[in-house]
A and B are shown apart, each in its own frame.
Chain A
């Protein structure tokens, strides 16, 4: 298996509250090229899990392995996209996209060429000399995507990347990320609390619940791409996810425990 998470737990020790379990014995296997959505309310540990795969955080027990190797630190082979973009405000779009390439041993000319290619890919060629503050939220996230893809990572980790965008922009960004995923064949692990977003994007939806954070169930989404947000099959799967979270009355009423 490509990514193997076995019995991974993450505990915090807080001065006033004592031990807190952010994540409890999580087991998950992910195949190369899969699009996985981690879905759940806040406090379910989905971001903690993502941070552990990224290498920003480590499990207090259990392990996260990629290609059979334990993840201990961040790597340019798995780039994280943040909700607030993480662009450097003093650099223009071109120089932001070049950032990741600067750590690699490639010539200035080649760097510029690669950056321009990826800016073109996300459709921002007309804005390459703009600074982030001059761009809309959706455009800034495209820059972050171009910057991530420019270093050609195997895995993209996305932490509620469209959470700060309005509903319309979010949908067009979902189309965009699906297109990029199909074109570039990356493995994507995508954290969200938006059920429709998960159903639209994921091969498999990992449903997580809080206190302590753990995986409740995994739902496969066997729909063909590009998915129709208003189609019957789409709505059927969406309803199943609603059920998992208890937002939908089921036919068999079970009041007793």
Chain B
């Protein structure tokens, strides 16, 4: 019932947006090339879906995204566990992280090209940078916030490393780590497109730049809509997975979110 209500609301709001868009176009104050009409844009989407352009670009983008994100998740979680556990080392590293974190990954682009060359690498590195910091920071704080009573219980029953890490610390920190992974997913998706706009010859970001270069504003808008929808689908899939794992962990879902 609740999901039905939600989807009705979603459909209504999207429909309203399209109506307003069409009305603005109908005023005739904007040239076709400055603001293409919904019909033209949806035809554009249909065209790139039909001739396989979209699928090709999507495949390339998704492979880059997955590579960068998985690398960031692995290094972020492993480093986060080590640094979260070793507070004194973390206190030295934390200031550096705090300086690097607010820098947009795109700012690194000149160096990335020099260090990693062109091709897939720059986009992967940018995704990595974008995803790494939220994952690292949430893991560190997750490890730091493990309830002292769990450690006391483990100590009492004589649990030693590595059992302590895998049986107590990692699962106890998991809800916070999962939040970080989820947050990083959104950020990484944003920077995927940005990364491909400046350095790639393929992918969803490139598809938009390519459309601009051939003066196809309808395809630019089509690209924007597709990226938005794909990002939303990705987010929902991960949320489903996250909720399922959290339920297995016995963490009540109502408490969070």
* Interface residues of A, Cβ cutoff 8 Å to B: 54, 56, 74-76, 79-80, 82, 84, 86, 88-92, 99-100, 102-103, 131-133, 151
Contacts and interface: CB of A to CB of B under 8 A. Distances in A.
Given A56-B155, A103-B158, 18 more contacts: A54-B156, A74-B152, A74-B156, A75-B158, A76-B156, A80-B156, A82-B149, A82-B153, A86-B152, A86-B153, A88-B153, A88-B172, A90-B174, A90-B248, A99-B167, A102-B159, A131-B250, A133-B251
B250 A91 contact: yes
20 contacts: A56-B156, A74-B152, A74-B156, A75-B156, A75-B158, A76-B156, A76-B157, A76-B158, A79-B157, A82-B153, A86-B149, A88-B153, A90-B172, A90-B250, A92-B250, A99-B153, A103-B157, A103-B163, A131-B250, A133-B250
- Which of B156, B159, B172, B249 counts the most A-chain CB atoms under 10 A from its CB? B156
Interface string B134-176: 0000000000000001101101111110010001100110100
B213 interface: no
B252 interface: yes
Given A79-B156, A100-B157, A90 B149 contact: no
Nearest to B249: A90
Contacts of B160: 103
B interface, size bucket? 20 to 34
A80 B152 contact: yes
A100 B153 CA distance: 9
Given A82-B149, A99-B167, A103-B163, A89 B158 contact: no
Interface in B217-257: 248-252
B159 A86 contact: no
B2 to A, nearest CB: 22
A96 B173 CA distance: 17
B171 A90 contact: yes
Nearest to B153: A86
Nearest to B246: A90
A99 B153 CA distance: 10
B252 A133 contact: yes
B22 to A, nearest CB: 50
A56 B152 contact: yes
Contacts of B152: 56, 74, 80, 82, 86
Q: Is the interface of B mostly helix, strand, loop or mixed?
A: helix
Given A102-B163, A103-B163, A132-B250, A88 B158 contact: no
The 4 closest A-B pairs by CB, nearest first: A131-B250, A90-B249, A100-B157, A89-B250
B75 to A, nearest CB: 24
A37 to B, nearest CB: 21
Contacts of A89: 249-251
Contacts of B251: 89-90, 133
A74 B155 contact: yes
Contacts of B249: 89-90
Nearest to A157: B156
B159 A103 contact: yes
A19 to B, nearest CB: 24
A82 B156 CA distance: 12
Contacts of B153: 82, 86, 88, 99
Contact of B157 (A90, A92, A99, A133): A99
B167 A102 contact: yes
Nearest to B160: A103
Nearest to A91: B250
Contacts of A84: 149
A39 to B, nearest CB: 23
Contacts of B172: 88, 90
Contacts of A92: 250
B164 to A, nearest CB: 10
Nearest to B156: A74
Contacts of A54: 156
Given A76-B158, A103-B163, A88 B171 contact: yes
A82 B148 CA distance: 12
A86 B158 contact: no
Given A74-B155, A91-B250, A103-B157, A86 B174 contact: no
A84 B152 CA distance: 12
A249 to B, nearest CB: 42
Contacts of A76: 156-158
Contacts of B150: 86, 88
Nearest to A132: B250
Contacts of A86: 149-150, 152-153
Nearest to B170: A90
A138 B167 CA distance: 25
A7 B160 CA distance: 33
